[in-house]
Amino acid sequence: MALARVTVLASGRGSNLAALIAAAERAAGPWAVTHVVCNRPGARALVVATEHGIATTLVDHTTYASRADFDAALATAIDRGEPDLVVLAGFMRVLGDAFVARYAGRMLNIHPSLLPAYPGLHTHRRALADGVTEHGCTVHAVSAAVDGGAIVDQARVPVLPGDDEATLAARVLEAEHRLLPSAVTRWCIARARSLPPEAGR
């Protein structure tokens, strides 16, 4: 099976990136994280990638005059890694329509809520404020609407009595670390099945 090249975009801690790398190494295919692109100098995600010998590129959004300029630089960096799939794993920038269109059908995002509930920021705080009994995370295709693309998969966790934002976030994050690698694996297997038999040989 052709090994799919996955480029991960991250902005911070990189725990979802680490979960992806661990899963790819454990399963030994059908995909590998081959490139990590980050918009924040000093982000832990860059360290995680480097520790695993994965190529990194920094595209610091503060050095671009406009979002369009940043998006163009980001696309150039991504394309250099020749990815089959782009995964946003804690990538905290809103992307423009042209950028989203360029990667249509091959870009996934992990979001810490059961979409369509709680798009945007502070999802755990908002879920607690509403008194919901169930929360979770979603992997979805990236579309022009923020956190609005087609849902690929979700994982549910209970909201327990006494939960605060930190305990709930930790429970959801554990679920994210299982959901994202499994969604990427399924995406890559589906892609491999749709390729002509000679591809990747």
Task: Check residue 13 for interaction with ligand GRF (CB under 6 A).
Answer: yes
Residue 111 a catalytic site member: yes
Q: Indicate the SS3 state at residue 123.
A: helix
Return the residue of 7, 15, 39, 56 that touches ligand GRF, per CB under 6 A. 15
Task: Check residue 113 for interaction with ligand GRF (CB under 6 A).
Answer: no
Cβ distance to ligand GRF smaller for residue 34 or 109: 109
Kind of pairing between the strands at 107-111 and 134-141: antiparallel
Residue 90's nearest CA partner among 23, 11, 6, 169 is 11
Q: Indicate the SS3 state at residue 49.
A: helix
Task: Check residue 16 for interaction with ligand GRF (CB under 6 A).
Answer: yes
* Cβ count near 31 (within 10 Å): 26
Cβ distance to ligand GRF smaller for residue 139 or 192: 139
Return the residue of 59, 74, 87, 89 that touches ligand GRF, per CB under 6 A. 89
Nearest 10 degrees: Cα torsion 83, 57, 140, 131: 160
Residue nearest to ligand GRF (CB): 90
Cβ distance to ligand GRF smaller for residue 1 or 173: 173
Residue 75's nearest CA partner among 42, 48, 101 is 101
Output the smallest distance, CB 169 to ligand GRF, in A: 7
Cβ distance to ligand GRF smaller for residue 102 or 140: 140
Q: Indicate the SS3 state at residue 94.
A: coil
Residues within the interface to ligand GRF (CB under 6 A):
10, 12-16, 89-90, 110-112, 173, 176
List active site positions: 111
